[in-house]
Amino acid sequence: MYVFFYVLICLIFGTTFLAIKVGIVAGGPPLLFAGLRFSCAGLLVLAFLAWRKHKFPRQTHLYWQMAKVGVCQTTVLFGVMYWAEQYIPSNLAALINAGTPMMVCLLGALQLRQKLHLTQLSGLLLGILGVYLIVGKGTVETSSIVVTAVVIAALSQTVCAWGALETRKLFAAGVSPWVANGFQMLFGSAGLLLAAAVRGESFTEVTDPWGAFGSLLFLIFVGSILGWGLYYLLTAKTSPLLASTWSYVSPVVAMIVGALWMGESFTVLSALGGVIVLAAVAIVNWVDWKKLMQDMQGRKDRSFVS
């Protein structure tokens, strides 16, 4: 069942980058639409859970923890991604997002005071080569604003990875993945809506209502409620590292749908760079991935014996 959830997450998140781009091309104000996406999704999830009489946490510190995760994984990550996709193609945005598992690995090693393996260091260097092939060889227009968008989007992965590691405290305290998802989206959307207000964004910027609001509805129900709900479920049942590796596969999905739907660049160099980056993040996480698979197999065997 978890394998099916994982594949579904990869497909959903692989198409959300295109959906964001469609909304932006239709004139959707980036931060306002991102804030509406997550506020609506968060409210709908929490309303459904309340209707089903689901238990909510009573400890105040857990709400602060969910707010912290929301700022990292919604306000910062998607605020940057929505803004960046005004200047970069959706397939490049998805590829940059593939850095999240790498950052989860690095930050996890720092938290546990562990040394990185040689394979992990090799993977980091290989990842730099892959990004160079994609960005540095003319597959996208390398203007100053494009380079700035790429750099800021890449830096946001560090914040997202830290948020992913922080979710462990929520699940250790017994918080449901669906509750965590609902509240983190709601808290995170507050930051996005505040930023949109500061920038003066409004619906008057929309030039294609069908494209803009169709994209918004898809992102609310499929991208946020279903996709992030399954992500938090997988995080709770496995680990932050395994759950975050959806971003290994999503760039490939995003590259294909972006080329087919939006006519985005899909050259031999971009494909090669994408393969190299995916290989790099797989190498970086190989040791932890292998250990996790062994632990999961061990638990399965013990469960069978008992």
47's tokens: 């309303």
Per-residue model confidence (pLDDT) at position 44: 95
Q: Give the span between the Cα atoms of 147 and 141, in whole angstroms.
A: 9
Q: What is the pTM of this model?
A: 0.76
What torsion do the CA atoms of 80, 29, 21, 138 make, to the nearest 10 degrees? -60
Q: Give the span between the Cα atoms of 247 and 45, in whole angstroms.
A: 24
115's tokens: 């040394």
107's tokens: 């930050």
Per-residue model confidence (pLDDT) at position 305: 45
Residue in this structure with the two tokens 């720092």, named with its chain if needed: 110
Domain boundaries, the chain: 2-305
Q: Give the span between the Cα atoms of 262 and 202, in whole angstroms.
A: 25
Q: Give the span between the Cα atoms of 32 and 42, in whole angstroms.
A: 15
- For 9, half-sphere exposure in the C-beta direction (CA atoms, 13 angstrom radius) is 21
Residue-wise pLDDT for 196-245, tens only, equals 999 999 999 999 999 999 999 999 999 999 988 888 887 777 666 566 66
* DSSP element (H, E) containing 33: helix 30-51
Contact 183, 42 (CB under 8 A): yes
Higher per-residue confidence, 14 vs 131 = 14
229's tokens: 């709900």
For the chain, the 3-state helix, strand and coil shares in percent, each to the nearest 5, are: 80, 0, 20
Per-residue model confidence (pLDDT) at position 268: 76
263's tokens: 């006519």
C-alpha distances (whole Å) from 142 to each of 47, 83, 147, 178, 219 are 45, 17, 6, 40, 29
Share of the chain above pLDDT 90, in %: 33
Q: Give the span between the Cα atoms of 287 and 306, in whole angstroms.
A: 29
Residue-wise pLDDT for 144-180, tens only, equals 888 888 888 888 888 888 888 888 889 889 898 889 9
Q: Which of 56, 77, 78 is nearest to 170 (CA)?
A: 56
**Mean pLDDT estimate for the chain:** 80
Please, which pLDDT band fits residue 303 given cuts at 50, 70 and 90? very low
38-47, 128-137, 175-184, 277-286: least confidently modelled range: 128-137
Per-residue model confidence (pLDDT) at position 263: 67
Residue-wise pLDDT for 66-120, tens only, equals 999 999 999 999 999 999 988 887 777 777 776 666 676 677 666 656 666 677 6
Per-residue model confidence (pLDDT) at position 32: 96
Q: Give the span between the Cα atoms of 237 and 146, in whole angstroms.
A: 38
Residues contacting residue 304 through CB under 8 Å, at least 6 positions apart? none
Residue 35 has pLDDT above 80, yes or no: yes
Higher per-residue confidence, 96 vs 264 = 96
Q: Which of 72, 92, 230, 228 is nearest to 161 (CA)?
A: 72
Highest mean pLDDT among 12-16, 22-26, 166-170: 22-26
